[in-house]
Structure 1
Amino acid sequence: MDEIRVFPIIITKDKGSNEYPYFVEIPYIDGMTEGKSIADAMEMAKDYIGTFSLENDLPESNTKLPKVKEEVVVTLVTVNVSEYKRKHDNRAVKKIITIPNYLNELGKENGINFSEIMTAALKKKLRA
């Protein structure tokens, strides 16, 4: 079962910035990011939370909206942490495979990187 988390975010428009005018605060993980539009800011917040989850434990979901000034947007974002980790966790893991000896010998003679070949084959097979 996938791990789904929900967090409030605070979006403030910075009238002085043209490229990324929407500043995003993610108070429950002390995160900050920015976006080109409100929708982009929400996506950037989801990405920030997902990236944060790769190396840190996330707090439990929190749907309590913080009190803020009237000129800001407060909303909730939902992040499928499990899906994010499946797509973005690039840590190397050691796997043991069995291949015929003649392929092993030919590969060594030709300087083949077996891990690189296996990764490419898996990506192709899994369309990843």
Structure 2
Amino acid sequence: MKYVYPVIFTPEDNGYSVKVPDLPGCFTYGDSLADAIDMARDAISMWLCDAEDKSEPIPPASDIKDVVHDANSFVNLIDVDTDFYRKENDNRAVKKTLTIPSWLNAKAEKANINFSQVLQTALKDHLGIKDRS
């Protein structure tokens, strides 16, 4: 599902505090404006996914012109796609079948290698993906 919400960004000493007034308790922080926008998108997505999972009502987005903020803050619209967010953050295991030479399999089994972990690490390295802990 796609949503767009107004977000209040407030400059702080070392970044930006972020508040989503339409989503109770939805706050975050970013070290830079770009980081704050990413963090806002992530916080909104998590909030909405949780509400969708619990079949709770999704609050309507306010008109950006109606969002009250102080003179030091500014408001920007942030778009999120909960379907995309779920796909990007889905950590369920997926079974894959692969083929390796018999001699390599024997050596790896003798060394008690965790094939799944080695494959995951190799794929992340190959794709330049930082570990998500």
Paired position in structure 2 for 1:67: 67
Name the TM-score, length of structure 2 as normaliser: 0.61
In the alignment, is the contact (CA less than 8 A) between 2:6 and 2:67 conserved in 1? no
| From 7, 11, 15, the counterpart of 1:9 | 7
In the alignment, is the contact (CA less than 8 A) between 1:33 and 1:45 conserved in 2? yes
SS at 1:27's partner residue?
Answer: coil
The AA in structure 1 aligned to 2:3 is R
- Report how many aligned residue pairs link the two structures: 120
Paired position in structure 1 for 2:21: 27
Instruction: Kindly report the root-mean-square deviation, in angstroms, between the aligned alpha carbons of the 2 structures.
Output: 3.5
Q: Distance in 2 between matches of 1:121 and 1:110?
A: 18
> Share of identical aligned residues, percent?
28
Query: Structure 1 residues 117, 19: closer, same or farther in 2, change over 3 A?
Result: same
Query: Structure 1 residues 60, 67: closer, same or farther in 2, change over 3 A?
Result: closer
**Unpaired stretches in structure 1, ≥5 consecutive residues:** none
Paired position in structure 2 for 1:44: 39
Query: Structure 1 residues 10, 60: closer, same or farther in 2, change over 3 A?
Result: same
Q: Distance in 1 between matches of 2:123 and 2:32?
A: 36
Paired position in structure 2 for 1:56: 50
Q: Distance in 1 between matches of 2:50 and 2:3?
A: 14
**Unpaired stretches in structure 2, ≥5 consecutive residues:** 53-57
Name the TM-score, length of structure 1 as normaliser: 0.63
Alignment of 1:109-120 (within 5 A): 109-120=110-121
Query: Structure 1 residues 104, 83: closer, same or farther in 2, change over 3 A?
Result: same
